[in-house]
Amino acid sequence: MTTMTDVARAAGVSVMTVSNVLSGRRRVSPETRERVLRAVAELDYQVNLTARNLRYGRSGSIALLVPQFDHAYFGALGARVARAIADLGRQVVIEQTTASPEGELSALSLARLHMYDGAIFSVVGLREAELDRIRDSIPIVLLGEREVPARFDHVMMGNVEGARLAVRHMLDRGSRRVLIAGGQRGQDALGMSRARTLGWLRAHDEVGIQADESLILHMTQLDIAHARRAVAAAVAADPGIDGVFGVTDDVAIGALAGLRDVGRQVPEDVQVVGFDNLEIGAHIYPELTSVDPSSDWIVDNAVRLLQARMGDDPPSEAEHLVSPVRLVERGSTRD
């Protein structure tokens, strides 16, 4: 391992001069500079960022903590955050949180945060009490469809409104028995499933239809394969179902497959709407009507809040934002 001292010796200068050449923080005469750079090249020297960071007290990089890498939504989120953060001249590093045995808040993960100048934390499986354990060691902005301690900046999707729009759209177009795949009973709007189920209820109220709670299909996992099986089974058991609101696009895509499996036509027999507006939805058949959660808006705001909190005088009040949503109408619902 070559260090700055090695380079200094090779170039016949002091370490400080090498440091200055490499960081560009002080003027160095062209000849000295030249000699240093030659030594750097010759020894193939690379600065040790761990040491530099320890000295600086910051790292220049920001963490994005997501529950799963292999999920289109988080992939898109990562790409968006990376783009926004790159504009700030910083680097993004993604860490997966649920891979660790203890979960999102293992002592290690928590300590790891110190290695970053800030973090955007997509919370999913975390209870509020656990979240509360996070100290303000570094600036953190939370993303995710659940309530969080008030002291954190938080950006979430317009879950209730988005679900209301989606279900209303189907009810307005003739559906009467709209299954909510991935929904969850309960009156409060704590988690994503409950919030979207609340939107499902609201849409029924608006139209004056009694929502049938047996149409709330709870799912332990919100992936395509599970949704496919669950929806196929639900429709087989209740042939009157003429609409499916998938709480995520993955669930809705699974629903489309499940409906095919039991011989239902979309959108003639059953209309389907998803939530997330993933890119793939515009290219499958039938093309998926979906709630667009304004991902760019979410990321822009998260980055803005993080930047503010990392600045010289961080705001005293935390912001809690809800993204605007809109329905993108495609072929899985009727005109």
Binding site for a copy of itself (CB under 8 A): 1, 44, 46-51, 53-54, 59, 61, 68-72, 74-76, 78-80, 82-83, 86, 91-96, 98-100, 108, 110-115, 135, 137, 224-225, 228, 253-254, 256-257, 260, 279-280, 282-285
Distance of closest approach, residue 269 Cβ to a copy of itself, in angstroms: 15
**291/23 Cα distance (integer angstroms):** 47
Q: Give the nearer residue to DNA in terms of CB position, either 55 or 283.
A: 55
Query: Could you give the maximum distance between any two Cα atoms of the chain, in Å?
Result: 85
1 binds DNA (CB under 7 A): yes
CA 21 to CA 29: how far, in whole Å? 9
Question: What angle is formed at CA 65 by the lines to CA 61 and CA 68, rounded to 5 degrees?
Answer: 135
Q: Phi/psi class of residue 144: alpha, beta or left (left: φ > 0; alpha: ψ in -120 to 50)?
A: left
Counting contacts by CB under 7 A, is residue 272 touching DNA? no
E strands in the chain: 61-66, 91-96, 118-122, 140-143, 153-156, 178-181, 216-217, 243-246, 271-275, 289-292, 320-322, 326-328
If the CB atoms of residues 137 and 214 are measured against a copy of itself, the closer one turns out to be: 137
Instruction: Look up residue 36 and give its two tokens.
Output: 């240093």
- Which residue bears the tokens 């060691």? 137
Q: How far is the CB of 309 from a copy of itself (least distance, A)?
A: 16
User: Binding to DNA by residue 135, rule CB under 7 A?
Assistant: no
Which residue, 70 or 317, has its beta carbon nearer to a copy of itself?
70
Choosing among a copy of itself, DNA, none, which partner's interface includes residue 15 (Cβ < 5 to 8 Å by kind)? Answer: DNA
Sheet holding 289-292: strands in order across? 216-217, 178-181, 243-246, 271-275, 289-292, 326-328
58 binds DNA (CB under 7 A): no
CA 83, CA 71: separation in Å to the nearest integer? Answer: 19
Q: Which does 272 bind (CB under 5 to 8 A by kind): DNA, a copy of itself, none?
A: none
* Residue 210 touches which of a copy of itself, DNA, none (Cβ within 5-8 Å per kind): none
Q: Kindly state the smallest distance separating residue 224's Cβ from DNA, in Å.
A: 43
Stretch that binds DNA, among 18-26, 69-77, 153-161, 296-304 (CB under 7 A): 18-26
Cβ closest to DNA, residue 22 vs residue 222: 22
107 binds DNA (CB under 7 A): no
Give one DSSP letter per residue of 149-193, joined into a string: -TTSEEEE--HHHHHHHHHHHHHHTT--SEEEET----SS--SHH
Q: Is 57 in the site for DNA (CB under 7 A)?
A: yes
Q: Which residues have CB under 8 Å from 209's CB, separation 6+?
A: 171, 176
Interacting residues with DNA (CB under 7 A): 1, 3-5, 12-17, 19-20, 22-23, 25-29, 31-33, 47-48, 51-52, 54-57
